Amino acid sequence: MRSKPKPGSNLHSSAWMASIPVFVIALMTLIWPPSAVEELPDPALTQNSMEAASWIVRAPSTDAVTFEALAEEVLARGGRVSHRLPIIRAVAADLTTDQRQALMADHPEWNWTPNQRLEVASGSHNVPGTAYPAQLEVDELHDMWIDGWDTTVAVVDTGLWMHRSLTRDPWNQYRIKDTYNALQDRSWPVHDRHGHGTHVSSIIVSSDLNGETGGYNSIAPFADLVVVKAFDDEGSSTYADVIRGIDWVVARRESLDISVLNLSFSAPAITFYWQDPLNLAVMEAWRSGITVVTSAGNLGPDPFTIGVPGNVPYVVTVGALNDNRTPQQTDDDFLSSFSSAGPTVDAFVKPEIIAPGSHILARISRGSLLGRTYRDRFEGKYMSISGTSQSSAMVSGIAVLMKQVEPWLSPDDLKCRLISTARAAADAQGEPAYPPYQQGAGLADAMTATFSDEQGCGNPGLDIVADLADTQHFMGPVRMAEDFSFFIEDVGYPWDGSLATGGFPWIDANPWLDANPWLDLDANPWLDANPWLDANPWLDSQGSAPMDPAEIAVSINVWVDDNN
């Protein structure tokens, strides 16, 4: 264990989309009969019978079969097992159409999911850097020696550039607890040749000092780090590789004392949350006692664009704030237009909170793919990148600080405190400036959340044990009125600034009880106007004065748009 130095140093909409997204069509086939909606083709139907495709094969949770038994069955049919995924009692296997059909005939109860690919989209902004530690008021926490000491965060991403500011804390003590390459199923190498993972990790733990303020250029500069490389040098991965990485983290939660898991990536949701293998792995991580923070995605501002695993109702999903290139001025801040918006297709309010996610400066290697591609986007030793990936990294850092103060906090309690202390954007009349499906509870407030004593508001009405056992699933509180406007069932509309995060038992029917949400694509779900037109000020809880913007956002994508 590293020794703690003595205190005393300053080192310290928009309208609906013009066409229905593919994932919505897929979900409609699950909710309405094929006669009402054209079914998507089975991936196997486009596969040559002799050509192998990768599938994630999982037995129902109520079945006693083990993942080892699944592997034996696949091998017996001539398939190749590429990944053993005990966290969800599944395997990833390469199977021809004939092999898969034979297995399906023998085991019709098994669940089959294409081993989808995940991508890290790259981009950046050449703009003045934002002083996000000061914006989030974490610099004040640092002055109180709340700096991440003796707390561990795991980052599943493209790896890490082994720069001193990332591998060592401000007192030059080595902070990398362990590493794992999920692509090759071994501990090494985890060097980041893409850049995304380094940028995200830098926001969380960099030990660099800010030359202007004297504070740190990160949220938790003294935290320990566990590096999991699950994306390749091009920023690409598969469900199976990411699940294997999460499995490795959960298996070592106690031995490495992992408190927080950062997942700054997002894939399109193509099914209900409880049917997605990646989501099931994330839920297992949450149940194990790890606070999971994930990005909302960069497909906004349209509704129903929250990706996987941000659509998991239990985890903390983060959207992005734009400080309008004036980090010291808060009354012109607005939501980043790329930040994905809810509700989810399961009717949950997402994201829960937001944080700065536009033009964020952090460490990155000039030799990485992003560094070589965007050489003109560097400002000194830092590169400016936008995305909900950067926002989620900030919230992960805040979660680390909260766990340092109260290590016994459960993930549900930590989520409760983050939500209950966030500050919603309000207009001049004190009314919410954005619907909860875009801003959640509002901007994260690191100082207030760290010293909050709120309990019981994290995931009310939900039961993760029953969910994972496949005995009960849940839908969120969002409903749709006849005029196609959204409202929260247990709050009503207009929204009063509170956030409903609970769920209701799934009733095996369309969660949009009052209307078909995809029936009229010309209807504006945001009621009155485009919420992005006005840069509404973020006001304090009394709605009377500008507040300091907090930082939280999510997404493994990096947005490329110099207007944001």
Catalytic site includes residue 125: no
Single-letter amino acid code for the residue at 13: S
Residue 275 burial (C-beta neighbours within 10 Å; 0-12, 13-18, 19+)? middle
Among left, alpha and beta (phi > 0; psi -120 to 50; other), residue 249 is alpha
> For this structure, is 247 an active site residue?
no
Task: Please list, in sequence order, all residues whose beta carbon lies within 8 angstroms of the beta carbon of residue 513, skipping any fewer than 6 positions away.
Answer: 479
For residue 375, the SS3 value is: helix
Q: How many residues does the chain have?
A: 564
Of 259, 295, 389, 452, which is the active-site residue?
389
Rounded Cα distance between 237 and 433, Å, is 37
Question: Is residue 383 within 8 Å of residue 357, measured between CB atoms?
Answer: no
Exposed, middle or buried by CB within 10 Å (0-12, 13-18, 19+), for 310? buried
- Of 290, 307, 279, 564, nearest in space to 415 by CA: 290
Q: State how far the alpha carbon of 332 is from the alpha carbons of 28, 326, 335, 340, 536, in Å.
A: 39, 8, 10, 21, 6
Of the candidates 220, 302, 307, 219, which has an alpha carbon nearest to the alpha carbon of residue 265?
A: 307
Only one residue has tokens 């989209």, namely 121
389 is catalytic: yes
Task: Give the E-state strand segments of 167-248 in sequence order.
Answer: 176-181, 224-229, 236-238
Give yes or no for a contact between 302 and 14, defined as CB atoms under 8 angstroms apart.
Answer: yes
Please enumerate in sequence order all residues whose Cβ is within 8 A of that of 105, keeping only pairs 6 or more positions apart, or say none. none
Coil, strand, or helix at residue 556? Answer: coil
User: Is residue 132 a contact partner of residue 551, using CB atoms and an 8 Å limit?
Assistant: yes
Whether a cis peptide bond, with omega within 30° of 0, leads into 546 is no
Rounded Cα distance, 224 and 347, in Å:
36
Angle (nearest 5°) at CA 254 between 252 and 256: 65
Backbone angles phi, psi at 362, to 5 degrees: -160, 170
Radius of gyration over alpha carbons of the chain, in Å?
22
Beta bridge partners of 487: 479
| Catalytic choice (196, 199, 359, 473) | 196
Q: Map residue 289 onto helix, strand or coil.
A: coil
Query: What is the set of active-site residues?
Result: 157, 196, 389
